[in-house]
Amino acid sequence: MGKLLRMSLICCVLVLLLFGCGAPQEQKPTMQKLVEDLVKTIKNSLTSPTALDAYVKTFTLETNVQTAKSNFINNLSSTFSSLGKDVELLNFYEFSTKSATPIYSFDLGMKPDVIDKVYVMNLLFIDQAQQRKTLYVLPFITLKNEANKIYLAVIFLRDGNVVVYPKPMS
DSSP letters for the chain:
-HHHHHHHHHHHHHHHHHHHHTSPPPPPPPHHHHHHHHHHHHHHHTT-GGGGGGGEEES---HHHHHHHHHHHHHHHHHHHHH-SEEEEEEEEE--TT-SS--SSEE--S--TTEEEEEEEEEEEEETTTTEEEEEEEEEEEETTEEEEEESEEEEEETTEEEEESEEP-
Q: Is 136 part of a structural domain of the chain?
A: yes
- 12 inside domain: no
Residue 15 domain flag:
no
The pLDDT tens digits of the residues spanning 8-29 come to: 555 444 444 444 444 444 556 7
Residue 146 lies in a domain: yes
Average pLDDT score over residue span 69-95: 94
Q: Assess if residue 98 is contained within a domain.
A: yes
Predicted confidence (pLDDT) per residue in 99-115, tens digit: 555 566 888 888 899 99
Per-residue pLDDT, 109:
83
Whole-number pLDDT of residue 29: 77
Query: Is residue 13 assigned to a domain?
Result: no
Task: Report pLDDT for 18.
Answer: 42
- Mean pLDDT over 147-168 rounds to 93
pLDDT of residue 170: 66
Q: Residue 143 — pLDDT band, cuts 50, 70, 90? A: very high
CATH of the domain at 92: 3.10.450
Overall number of domains in the chain: 1
Which is higher by pLDDT, 29 or 56?
56
Residue 50 lies in a domain: yes
Q: What is the mean pLDDT of the chain?
A: 84
Q: Are strands 86-94 and 106-107 parallel, antiparallel or unpaired?
A: unpaired
Count of CB atoms situated within 10 Å of the CB of 62: 15
Residue 117 predicted with pLDDT over 60: yes
φ and ψ at 110, to 5 degrees?
Answer: 55, 50
Q: Average pLDDT in the 81-102 region?
A: 84
Domain enclosing residue 131, as ranges: 30-165
Q: What is the CA radius of gyration of the chain?
A: 23
Which residues, at least 6 apart from 25, have a Cβ–Cβ distance to it below 8 Å? none
148 is a domain residue:
yes
